[in-house]
Amino acid sequence: MSFRLFDAPLREPSQFVGFAGNTIDRQSENRADDSVEKALADPSTRLLLMHGGRLYLKPASDGFDPWFGAEESLPLQASLDRGVLLGFSESGPVLAVPTGVEPEQLPETIKAIDYRSVYMQGLIDEAAAGALAQGAALLAWHASHRFCSKCGTESEMRAGGYKRLCPACGTEHFPRTDPVAIMLTATPEKCLLGRGRHFAPGMYSALAGFIEPGETIEAAVRRETLEEAGIRLGRVVYHASQPWPFPYSLMIGCFGEPLNDNIQADLNELEDCRWFYRDEVRSMLAKGHPGNLFTPPKGAIAYNLIRAWADSA
């Protein structure tokens, strides 16, 4: 009898997606209320500086350097008391810190680039992009959860930024991660791709939607595919996941097996949705499609789902 529970590739599919290269040792069991203070007293501490959905970058010999020292961050109005401790790298503690300087007022040597461009253009290495996803999600959560949702009092950051505590009613609040299902419906011959109304002209992608309270991942994949495309699914299998800091989601990528062929697209959600055969998909992945259709870029979990299917036979 073979043991199939761990019958998976040695390199996990999730390791191929953008924002997945985080190498920080979080040491979550050691987080204390003075963690940030202690880290800031350590001269080896490095900071990621963020403002309004943008990451600050310094020029470096081979591109950009996202890491700042605590001293170096002060002229950029870094709010060190609002920093969160991401954990520890080989060189020391790592924090994400919100800053006050608007992009247009920055010194000329420092750029403020939006997270999506940082990731799409590969401006920083995979480990730094992973740290960015962690820091961006945490800072966004703090920015939108300042007040206790039970009694309305302003709450206080605790545990290095992994908790907020209400001083009035004592309720503890923890950072959110919002799960999103993204699914490629496919047979051996064809797969289902759609176009959202906000997509770049020519781009087609896997369908996606938020997982709702009380729903399994598989149920969400089936519901979204039926709602958006009118396709009922049989088997659903998990493939890979991706941290997605817009603002704090986790993309959960699955394959679904269609039970019917006739698409009924929800045109409120999608501009178009249709079946694509393997050769056409391969030309889209290779950016050689005769009608200039293409998939999301390498690094996107949708790309990885589509690529895994296109390479699967």
Interacting residue ranges for Zn ion, rule: CB under 5 A: 148, 150-151, 153, 166, 168-169, 171
**Shortest CB 198 distance to Zn ion, Å:** 37
Choice between 150 and 235, CB closer to Zn ion = 150
**Shortest CB 117 distance to Zn ion, Å:** 38
- Write phi, then psi, for 104 (nearest 5 degrees): -75, -15
**Shortest CB 159 distance to Zn ion, Å:** 17
Choice between 74 and 168, CB closer to Zn ion = 168
Choice between 167 and 288, CB closer to Zn ion = 167
Pair of tokens at residue 290: 């005769």
Q: Which of 116, 121, 103, 94 is nearest to 52 (CA)?
A: 103
Choice between 121 and 144, CB closer to Zn ion = 144
Q: Is 256 exposed, middle or buried (0-12, 13-18, 19+ CB in 10 A)?
A: buried
**Shortest CB 167 distance to Zn ion, Å:** 8
CB atoms within 10 A of CB 301: 30
**Shortest CB 142 distance to Zn ion, Å:** 16
Choice between 41 and 168, CB closer to Zn ion = 168
Choice between 30 and 153, CB closer to Zn ion = 153
**Shortest CB 37 distance to Zn ion, Å:** 24
CB atoms within 10 A of CB 81: 10
